[in-house]
């Protein structure tokens, strides 16, 4: 009984902390959401990008409120969300509790240095996170590292835009991404671009990039790395 009471007290405290954080930040999120296509349309497109084959393990990098885990948690055996913000994690845990998603958990972690072994996940999602990264290519490399062979990386972010105020008001480091850049980073990480979907909005257009970890791309990546190292050694 005491354990149940203690667990309930923890859940209540977590909920209060999360509610306070959300009240403080909801306005900013709502302002950004109003600039692009309806989030429900984005989620429908994400569901369509979901693999047809069975997915056992899902990782959501920069999980924020845990929405991706809420969306896909019922479809996987295990879902893990990583975020650097303790406040966001509190909010995400509340959402998982309310959704009774016992197969999902969130952890504190750095998207540049995931405290996870390689090749653990079938799907990795990076949902509206990459524009906060100083070095987005490193995030993609880490995502690729923890993907199993034939696993799928799903990136959701903005197409290139000119809203400089997102840098100053919302800490965005990048004003969207070009398809060629995302494709190049994926290729360098041993991933093959599978599909690119565009959801037009005004003024922000949302992009969904799906890349797959392939044997051929990994082999080419290893060969290219070895050739570069050989050239550098000979100069």
Residues in the chain: 235
β-bridge mates for residue 193, sequence order:
211
Give the number of C-alpha atoms closer than 13 A to the C-alpha of residue 208, restricted to the C-beta side: 20
C-beta separation of 49 from 69 below 8 A: no
Does this model's pTM top 0.85?
no
Which pLDDT score is estimated for 166?
Answer: 87
Which pLDDT score is estimated for 65?
Answer: 87
- Residues 52, 57, 61, 64, CA torsion sign: positive
C-beta separation of 209 from 181 below 8 A: no
Encode the chain (235 residues) as per-residue pLDDT tens digits.
567 777 777 666 655 654 564 456 656 666 677 678 888 999 999 999 999 888 999 999 999 889 999 999 999 999 999 998 888 888 889 899 999 999 999 999 999 999 999 999 999 999 999 998 999 999 999 999 999 999 999 999 999 999 998 888 878 889 999 999 999 999 999 999 999 999 998 899 999 999 999 886 667 665 554 444 455 555 5
Phi, psi of 55 (to 5 degrees): -115, 120
C-beta separation of 207 from 194 below 8 A: no
């Amino acid at each position: 009984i005491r354990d149940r009471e203690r667990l309930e007290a923890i859940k209540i405290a977590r909920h209060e902390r999360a509610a306070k954080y959300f009240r403080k930040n909801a306005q900013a999120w709502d302002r950004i959401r109003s600039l692009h296509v309806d989030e429900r349309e984005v989620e429908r497109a994400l569901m369509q990008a979901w693999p047809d084959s069975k997915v056992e393990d899902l990782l959501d990098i920069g999980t924020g409120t845990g929405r991706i885990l809420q969306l896909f948690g019922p479809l996987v055996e295990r879902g893990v969300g990583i975020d650097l913000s303790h406040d966001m994690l509190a909010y995400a845990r509340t959402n998982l509790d309310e959704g009774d998603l016992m197969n999902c958990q969130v952890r504190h972690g750095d998207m540049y240095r995931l405290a996870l072994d390689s090749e653990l996940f079938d799907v990795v999602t990076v949902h509206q996170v990459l524009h906060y990264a100083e070095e987005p290519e490193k995030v993609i490399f880490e995502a690729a590292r923890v993907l199993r062979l034939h696993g799928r990386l799903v990136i959701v972010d903005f197409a290139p835009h000119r809203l400089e105020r997102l840098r100053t008001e919302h800490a965005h480091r990048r004003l969207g991404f070009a398809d060629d850049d995302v494709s190049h980073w994926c290729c360098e990480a041993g991933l093959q671009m599978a599909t690119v979907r565009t959801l037009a909005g005004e003024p922000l257009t949302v992009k969904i990039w799906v890349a797959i970890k392939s044997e051929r791309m990994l082999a080419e990546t290893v060969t290219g790395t070895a050739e570069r190292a050989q050239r550098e050694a000979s100069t």
